[in-house]
Chains A and B, each alone.
Chain A
Amino acid sequence: MERQSLKRLQESIESVIKGKSDAVKMAIVTLLGKGHLLLEDVPGIGKTTLAFTLAKATNCSFQRVQFTSDLLPTDIIGVNIYNPDTREFEFRSGPLFANIILADEINRTNPKTQSALLEAMNERRVSVDRKTYRLPEPFMVIATQNPLEYHGTFPLPESQLDRFMMHLKLGYPAAEYERQVLFQQASFDSIESMAPAISSEEIIRMQQEVDAVKIDDSLVDYIMSIITHTRRSDKIRLGVSPRGGQFLLKAVKATAYYEGREYVTPDDIKGTAPLVLGHRIILKTQTYISDAERVIEEILSGIPVPV
């Protein structure tokens, strides 16, 4: 049943984003694992479209925030405004109060705003004037980052990158799909009018079911072994943190769930690990996340798979 609705979801997203089924799958997996997604790629690739389509297909509310250097935390969280009629302060929620938020070019804003966003991502609630407001469920932040332009940016520190469950690189579409894209009407209206493939309530239920996915002890050992290796590798300056391990376990379970299984297999781990761990390590030679991904793949090809 779940497998079918998830398949429907995937198909409906892919009707808009063509030829990117792996990225679409991983985005859904991140949503199922209650994680946040970091998209690192050049502009014009379809990052915004992916986020918007995901929101529409799951019948979720969507907000897009363009991160600029003068953006303030209150601009995304919201502010208390004095209401002359009631003579009281009223909370005016910001764009963060949506199910799916696209944080565009997150590295362009100041650290203060970055950390406000990342704190909200982690705790799923915000505090304004000693009052705490819960963020809606499901809640997922899709942040984008342009890997090439570094002028006037505030690169996210590792501690903040650590809060994203996964990072993805969309990459250019294959020629056959790009041809179709050329003729596509670049309008969000058609997406706006898209019928949802799945309800947001269903997503919440599925998120809970992901926790019940079984994982064999030997596979837990496998995960441990991967993490330990990142800490010992001579190519890596900073290995994966315990939180990284937690995210990997979560992502692996979500992957298994996505595949319609109630249990994790070694392939779930080997397939997910580079995307979950790539942005959590610092290589000795400072480079892009995609290089780190390759190092993780190298490590994976040297760890015996449990049988």
Chain B
Amino acid sequence: MILEAKNLSKIYGGSSPGAFYKALDQFNLTINEGEFVGIMGPSGSGKSTLLQILGTIETPSSGELVMDGENVVAMKQTQLADFRREKLGFIFQDFQLLDSLSIKENMLVPLVLNKKSNQEMEERVKQVAAYLGIEAILSQRPYEVSGGQKQRAAAARALIHQPSLVLADEPTGNLDSKSAKALMELLVDLNHQEQTTILMVTHDPVTASYCDRILFIQDGRLLNEIYQGDRRADFYDQILLVQSSLGGELYDTKIPRF
């Protein structure tokens, strides 16, 4: 068991009675090593809050959270930073690469923070870049490469220090369908071969259909949970079914970007 959350609650604006808002309500979650878990839910359902709490960026109002055998809730800010640095990898919707650094240097950031030796850095970059097929763009700057390449570089950064858990927030949200498919196949491959545990928040059923298991949340509570069967197409239909039963109009529609 890599992650165990018990009765997680998050309440915003609790200072004045009546004005508070429950983003998460007694939420339970268990993730085993090597799992690829998806989280779906309408806007405002609490999925982002959940991801932020699991990413140790927000602290829960109450509940327990144990990750990789460590009690995260009791940790101080510095300890949390250490924990994130060593145990977690992040992939964001808008890539979040530093423009001041080249692709390679962006990948190196977690290793720099973990004070690894130069030799180890070089080896890891070579390995991960080859795996993700981004060797050709290593010396380029983030603003010089395509969205798909950026997201692969971001994935490389999330994986390079071999974290216990990778948290992905709408990783395909800014990608065209071809790049999205390529990225998801890479993540699945990685998940299978390296036993990397991945937790992904998405509202795109196609992206979600790559997961082993999907949790649906609404109003901060777990509503439903479905598992991958033999065929991805069937799983996709199943996702759509659950979505429409939850009220499809509540789902985010992709905002066209200019």
- Check if A and B associate: no
